[in-house]
Amino acid sequence: MKIAKFAIAAICSLALASTSAQAAEKISFILNWVAGGDHAPVYWAKAQGWYKDAGIDLTIEQGKGSTLSSQRVGIGKNQLGIADLGTALVNKGKGADLVAVFNIYANSPYGFYWKKSSGIKSIKDFAGKKIGNPPWDAARQMWPAFAKAVGMAPDSVTWVNVKPNAKIAALKSDSIAVTTSFYNIHFIFQKVFGDDMGFVAGKTIGVNPYGNSVIANGKYLKENPGVVKNFVKVTQKAYAACAKNADPCITALMDANSGLKRGSSLANWALVKELMDADSSRNGAIGYFDPARMDADYKLIEAYFNLKTPFDIKQTYRNDFLDMSVKFGG
């Protein structure tokens, strides 16, 4: 009798384990770029088993830019991903089926870099100079907005095509006078140029669209709102925890990605924290999209990018999956 009871208990246990395994939803999550400090919270939450506990079997895929990640999520190749929000909205205007569900960079990461020894003191001194970056760079596309904000003619500068990994070398050799970059690698420019580094953040000029955000495939979101909600809540909890204590998060990142250096990853994460810190994350919640700012972002994208298909911005983001008590600095 005892053996029979033990056998029944074992069978029940196996059945429950099987049901639990079957219940785990497979999610392919594509990053905006190769793994770095800004992705540490996702790796840490996965290492802690938080996604698994929420019923998610998460696979993290390395990215090659926000254009690719928003396109892949937009066609359902990946259910979820990270992309610069402006780039994602441009692809939405080209037919990508996507919805933003969690904001990471509450401040725009766009910034302009130059050498002080070139004589440039401010953005107004860019007139007549060469600015180098890739032709698809979002900062290049939105240059008219930056120029307008400081009273410059948009055509007063010359754009030069420079590959992403050649920006610093081109600036160092004086083949260009200015380049653009996301703020989360600001420490690299500081290391290379030291006191000769000139910099202005896009947000200080008055152009401050939301930056990197988690996006979901629209069809998948409609069919699996509970899964996306669980993913958002775990991710929000992870970013809040890592903002308070980065060390274990960076360790998880490095354990999952060989070749990363702890110092650089920590420096990267420190800059990401600056990008996370805004009214919408402090007074709203970490991950929150302020409706007024989203309206302004849409107008900005509509004005400076070719949207083949206009869309309702209010249907392109969600705040209802967030825990509104989880605030930056809280």
- Chunk the chain into consecutive blocks of 10 residues (it has 330) and report each block's average pLDDT, rounded to whole numbers: 47 44 86 95 98 98 94 98 95 96 97 97 97 89 92 96 96 97 95 98 94 98 98 98 98 97 96 97 98 96 88 98 96
- Cα–Cα distance, 271 to 61 (Å, whole number): 23
- Cα–Cα distance, 100 to 322 (Å, whole number): 12
Residue 138 has a pLDDT of: 81
What is the dotted CATH code of the domain comprising 24-107+210-315? 3.40.190.10
- Cα–Cα distance, 210 to 277 (Å, whole number): 12
User: E strands along 53-144, which residues?
Assistant: 56-61, 80-84, 98-103, 110-115, 130-133
Beta pairing, strands 110-115 & 178-182: antiparallel
Residue 293 has a pLDDT of: 97
- Cα–Cα distance, 201 to 146 (Å, whole number): 11
- Cα–Cα distance, 299 to 304 (Å, whole number): 9
Pair of tokens at residue 270? 């420190």
Q: At what angle do helices 225-244 and 247-256 cross, to 10 degrees?
A: 120
Kindly tell me the sign of the dihedral angle through the C-alpha atoms of 152, 157, 161, 163. negative
How is the chain split into domains, by residue range? 24-107+210-315, 110-205
- Cα–Cα distance, 239 to 287 (Å, whole number): 9
Residue 52 has a pLDDT of: 98
User: E strands along the chain, which residues?
Assistant: 25-30, 56-61, 80-84, 98-103, 110-115, 130-133, 158-161, 178-182, 197-201, 212-217
Q: Which CATH architecture has domain 110-205?
A: 3-Layer(aba) Sandwich (3.40)
Residue 309 has a pLDDT of: 92
Whether the CB-CB separation of 66 and 83 falls below 8 Å is answered with yes
User: Comparing 24-107+210-315 with 110-205, is the CATH topology the same?
Assistant: yes
- Cα–Cα distance, 317 to 103 (Å, whole number): 10
